[in-house]
A and B are shown apart, each in its own frame.
Chain A
Amino acid sequence: MGGPALSLAGQTNAGDTAWMLAATALVLMMTPALGLFYAGLVRGKNTLNTFMMSVGALGVVTVAWALIGYSLAFDKGNGFIGGLKYVALRGVTFEPRPGTAIPQLLFMSFEATFCILTAALVSGAVVERMRFGSFLVFTTLWSVFVYAVLAHWVWGGGWLQQHGTLDFAGGVPVEMGSGFSAFAAATVVRARKDFGRQALLPHNAVYALLGAGLLWFGWFGFNGGSGYSTGHPSVLAFTNTLLAPACTLVVWFVLDLLRGGRVTAIGAATAIIVGCVGITPAAGFVSPTWAMLLGAIAALPSYAFIQWRPRTRLDETLDVLAAHGFAGLTGILFIGFFAQLSWNGRANGLLYGHPGQLGWQALAAVAAPAYAFVGTYVILRLIELVMPLRVTEREEALGLDVAQHGEEAYATGEGAILVVPEATIEAELAVAQL
């Protein structure tokens, strides 16, 4: 848990509750914002399908979270996985969540929005080719068997938390969890048929910028809410969420200038995400000055990987591994060096005389990626035994909007013939559906 133990007395606090209600709504907005960001980065014929993967997560992941995911993440259980006490929200009431002064019901909702967003993040690895139905099955299972387990490790009383690994707002379950799962998903689902043969360009950079902007806005609830209070950790995390991404943007501008002589818009949108990701684990643990340094250095591994990755055969399409996996890993390790007891009230890092902290941060930076990769790989291989993961080549060429949803993002209506409801052509339609 990010914040200090505020209340064990069983009292909820009005101020904390008010802020957490707002923060939960802010984080929920990040999922459609991510849908917009991703939709802008794909080709026009896959706009809706890409957006719908995020919308799909809003549906199925929320249901899975309420039924089982929350319990597996936040019931005590054992060091690896939580128990079944809160299955179907049994016992999740207005009583405060232990260690916070907010109702557990609200705590459950706040954490649900994290799980939804993280599941939607993974979709970036498989856009423009994965069947929508298979994605829904995957993302449901993933939210239970990968996300909930990783969340338990650092927040639900799991082994990393017991040993003192610090993760303020989700470097382990959200950022490394999504990034390395995306790596596995791209490996199993394989590359798009046109990858490496044609230029596959973003179709609307404005969507990407607007999506990134809304994500940053939502991230104030994401990081600012992860102290579960209106106390100092939340204020520190909130401020660091402003400072760190700004530094990432500036460094990204410089890198763009050095490389191509021009500052790019898609690059800027990416930089905002990378900066927010980098500060996420460290938000409430490092001073504002160190947060700015973290924002700056988080740009480097992500930028390098984004330049290099398209030259490989790895079609991790929207660079979730680079933007989330590597930036999250950077943030998790950074805590081990720069955490400062005088700012966070919890622990010092190596620089302030506690080298052991770095060890536990490093262990998290190995264990979380390994579990995310293997878990995702196994889930997708199992689904593949039951249903195809990919659309056919012809559907891929036509575009997934029409093939998977029977809609277009930019329908003109030209040549559209109205089908009257009473027309008895249902069977014919089924055949005509390509």
Chain B
Amino acid sequence: MKLVIGIVRPEKANDVLEALYRADVRGYSISRIQGHGGELDRVETYRGTTVKMGLAEKVRFEIAVSDPFVQPTIDALCAGARTGEVGDGKIFVVPLERVIRIRTGDIDLGAVTPRGA
């Protein structure tokens, strides 16, 4: 089991969701974050104040998957989020110690696999 963390452009979040759906990945959380990953700073001016905006808006996907789903999830994130410009984001894959589904008490593989209601 892995936790796949994908950091993507906000405007590509819908494309990622669509790609994940096509890859049969059904469980994920997303959050709006700000970050900096080496892209060029934007310059903004408010009256006499000029600032470089060092942080860009991003969306973070957190997706816990069983091992066979790791690569399809990564592929879906890449397919949905890539524009080819600097700032497309990153994917981190980290090992998962335990997963528990709160409602049923299912653990690990049982918990990352979607179940009917």
Question: Residues on A close to B: CB < 8 A?
Answer: 194, 197-198, 394, 397-398, 402, 406-408, 411, 414-419, 421, 429, 431-434
Instruction: Report how far A407 CA is from B51 CA in the complex, Å.
Output: 10
Instruction: Report how far A418 CA is from B54 CA in the complex, Å.
Output: 10
Q: Is B50 an interface residue (CB 8 A)?
A: yes
Q: Which of B41-49, B60-68, B72-80 contacts A (4 or more CB under 8 A)?
A: B41-49
| A397–B9 touching, CB < 8 Å | yes
Instruction: Report how far A238 CA is from B51 CA in the complex, Å.
Output: 49
| A394–B52 touching, CB < 8 Å | no
Knowing A397-B9, A415-B34, A415-B36 touch, does A402 contact B42 (C-beta < 8 A)?
A: yes
Inter-chain contacts of A407 with B (CB < 8 A): 44-46
| B43–A432 touching, CB < 8 Å | yes
Inter-chain contacts of A402 with B (CB < 8 A): 42, 44
CB distance from A416 to the nearest CB of B (A): 4
Inter-chain contacts of A415 with B (CB < 8 A): 34, 36, 53-55
Instruction: Report how far A432 CA is from B85 CA in the complex, Å.
Output: 14
Q: Closest chain B residue to A197 by CB distance?
A: B14
| B83–A433 touching, CB < 8 Å | no
| A411–B44 touching, CB < 8 Å | yes
CB distance from B56 to the nearest CB of A (A): 8
CB distance from A391 to the nearest CB of B (A): 13
CB distance from B83 to the nearest CB of A (A): 7
Question: Residues on B close to A: CB < 8 A?
Answer: 9, 11-12, 14, 34, 36, 40-46, 49-55, 83, 85
Besides A414-B55, A415-B36, A419-B43, 15 more A-B contacts (Cβ < 8 Å) are: A197-B14, A198-B14, A397-B11, A397-B12, A402-B42, A402-B44, A406-B44, A407-B45, A416-B53, A417-B41, A417-B51, A418-B51, A419-B51, A432-B52, A434-B42
What are 24 A-B pairs at a CB distance below 8 A? A194-B11, A197-B14, A394-B83, A398-B11, A402-B42, A402-B44, A406-B44, A406-B45, A407-B46, A414-B34, A414-B55, A416-B44, A416-B52, A416-B54, A417-B41, A417-B54, A418-B51, A419-B50, A419-B51, A429-B50, A432-B40, A432-B42, A433-B42, A433-B43
Inter-chain contacts of A431 with B (CB < 8 A): 40
CB distance from A409 to the nearest CB of B (A): 12
CB distance from B10 to the nearest CB of A (A): 9
Inter-chain contacts of B46 with A (CB < 8 A): 407, 411
CB distance from B86 to the nearest CB of A (A): 11
CB distance from A401 to the nearest CB of B (A): 9
Q: Closest chain B residue to A397 by CB distance?
A: B11
Knowing A198-B14, A397-B9 touch, does A417 contact B44 (C-beta < 8 A)?
A: no
Q: Closest chain A residue to B35 by CB distance?
A: A415
CB distance from A405 to the nearest CB of B (A): 9
Instruction: Report how far A431 CA is from B52 CA in the complex, Å.
Output: 13
Q: Closest chain B residue to A415 by CB distance?
A: B55
| B41–A432 touching, CB < 8 Å | yes
| Best-surrounded residue of A394, A418, A419, A431 (most CB of chain B within 10 A) | A419
Instruction: Report how far A197 CA is from B42 CA in the complex, Å.
Output: 28
Instruction: Report how far A2 CA is from B104 CA in the complex, Å.
Output: 74
The residue from A194, A406, A421 contacting B43, defined by CB atoms under 8 A apart = A406
Inter-chain contacts of A398 with B (CB < 8 A): 11
CB distance from A339 to the nearest CB of B (A): 51
Inter-chain contacts of B11 with A (CB < 8 A): 194, 397-398
Q: Closest chain B residue to A402 by CB distance?
A: B42
CB distance from B60 to the nearest CB of A (A): 16
Instruction: Report how far A244 CA is from B55 CA in the complex, Å.
Output: 50
Inter-chain contacts of B9 with A (CB < 8 A): 397
Inter-chain contacts of B52 with A (CB < 8 A): 416-417, 419, 432
Inter-chain contacts of B42 with A (CB < 8 A): 402, 406, 432-434
Instruction: Report how far A418 CA is from B44 CA in the complex, Å.
Output: 10
Q: Closest chain B residue to A433 by CB distance?
A: B43
Inter-chain contacts of B51 with A (CB < 8 A): 416-419
Q: Closest chain A residue to B51 by CB distance?
A: A416
The residue from B40, B53, B54, B85 contacting A394, defined by CB atoms under 8 A apart = B85
Inter-chain contacts of B53 with A (CB < 8 A): 415-417
Inter-chain contacts of A414 with B (CB < 8 A): 34, 55
Instruction: Report how far A210 CA is from B34 CA in the complex, Å.
Output: 31
| A429–B43 touching, CB < 8 Å | yes
Instruction: Report how far A198 CA is from B11 CA in the complex, Å.
Output: 10
Q: Closest chain A residue to B40 by CB distance?
A: A432
CB distance from A1 to the nearest CB of B (A): 44
Q: Closest chain B residue to A419 by CB distance?
A: B50
| B49–A418 touching, CB < 8 Å | yes
Inter-chain contacts of A429 with B (CB < 8 A): 43, 50
| Best-surrounded residue of A394, A416, A418 (most CB of chain B within 10 A) | A416
Inter-chain contacts of B41 with A (CB < 8 A): 417, 432
Inter-chain contacts of A421 with B (CB < 8 A): 50
Inter-chain contacts of A417 with B (CB < 8 A): 41, 51-54
CB distance from A427 to the nearest CB of B (A): 12
Inter-chain contacts of A397 with B (CB < 8 A): 9, 11-12, 83
